Amino acid sequence: MVNYLIAMLVTVGIYAVLALGLNVTWGMAGIANLGLAGFMAVGAYTTALVTKTFGFSIAAGMCLAVFASAALGILVSVGTLRLRGDYLAIVTLGFAEIVRLIASNETWLTNGTDGIAGISGPWRGQLSPVQFNWVYLGVTAALLAVSLLVCQLLARAPYGRVLRAIRDDETLVSVAGKSTFRFKLQAMAIGAGIMGLGGAMYAHYISYISPDVFRSLISLYIFLALTVGGTGNNYGALFGSLVLIALLEGSRFVFATVPAINAVQLAAAREMLIGLGLLLVLRFAPEGLIPERPKIFTRAATDITPRN
């Protein structure tokens, strides 16, 4: 039971890192990056390959994972960031699907749909499973703390203010003479890099990855986590991930007690729950558990909008 709880906490930590990555792009800069699963996959595959094939250390593998994802983040958005936001949403969603296609088909590189097994974990060989879980919880906590620190510094710095300004009114910022493009590109790179880190953390924890893990549905999970926690708020990303895992795990147990429900139906019901959860939160608690700013400041402007 304790072991299960630790495992869940590790999962929360990994989701929290992913949600932090999303918070940089969507929460702070207002860029709808729907390619989360893709960047996560790139991170996971990068570290799996370099540690397994070239014997890199886990730390080096994770660093490379961050760089690879960040680089792809730039590549994907360089052509589309100048366009309207909805195009980027489509392109990044497509990107995630393409990553999955490549992972499924370039068997020479990724071992195809069979996935890559036996990915190393820190001292996995020397430790009992329980001990390993504890160690990895520590690793996760440390990496999460670093990510959180980076994101907090970003949010507090003038840089973060510019990003939020871009999110709230891009024209205004560009009129003020700032290149919104450069800022958005950097936000995409940082966000994608953090998502890549999340993927790498996942790979070294579970030790096995396959294309199926990185379905676009993950992106929705993380949107739910961030929205529940409070879009724009880094601590919100953390709390939201806790809520998400509680929901995912809780629903597994609750739905499993329903008689005459088969495995497919169980999975379907849980996915439905996530979708429904996101819709409900967007509708009834758009500011999440930890609002970015106190309510008084943000409410007034949305009260009366001109009719059209």
| Shortest CB 236 distance to other proteins, Å | 16
Structure tokens at 119: 């990915």
Neighbours of 302 (CB within 10 A): 8
> Could you tell me the smallest distance in angstroms from the CB atom of residue 101 to other proteins?
6
Instruction: State the Cα–Cα distance between residues 134 and 149, nearest whole angstrom.
Output: 22
> Quick check: 283 binds other proteins (CB under 8 A)?
yes
User: How crowded is residue 59: how many other Cβ atoms within 10 Å of its Cβ?
Assistant: 12
Residue matched to tokens 């629903």: 251
- Report the residue number, 1 or 300, with the smaller CB distance to other proteins: 300
Contact 167, 10 (CB under 8 A): no
Give me the least distance between CB of 234 and other proteins, in Å please.
20
Residue 295 touching other proteins (CB under 8 A): no
CB atoms within 10 A of CB 77: 27
C-alpha 96/C-alpha 89 separation (Å) is: 11
Using the rule CB under 8 A, is 86 a contact of other proteins? yes
Instruction: Considering the complex, state which of residue 83 and residue 117 has its C-beta at the smaller distance from other proteins.
Output: 83
Cα separation values, 161 from 43, 70, 140, 169, 209, Å: 28, 22, 28, 12, 37
Among 279, 285, 293, 298, binds other proteins (CB under 8 A): 279
Is residue 175 involved in binding other proteins (CB under 8 A)? Answer: no
3-state secondary structure of 155: helix
- Residue 104 makes contact with other proteins by CB under 8 A: yes
68 binds other proteins (CB under 8 A): no
User: What burial class does residue 49 get, using C-beta atoms within 10 Å of its C-beta: 0-12 exposed, 13-18 middle, 19+ buried?
Assistant: buried
Residue 220 makes contact with other proteins by CB under 8 A: yes
Give the residue with the Cβ less far from other proteins, 109 or 279: 279
Site residues, other proteins (CB under 8 A): 30, 32, 34, 79-80, 82-87, 89-91, 93-95, 97-98, 101, 104-105, 217, 219-220, 223, 262, 264-265, 267-269, 271-272, 274-276, 278-279, 282-283, 286, 300-308
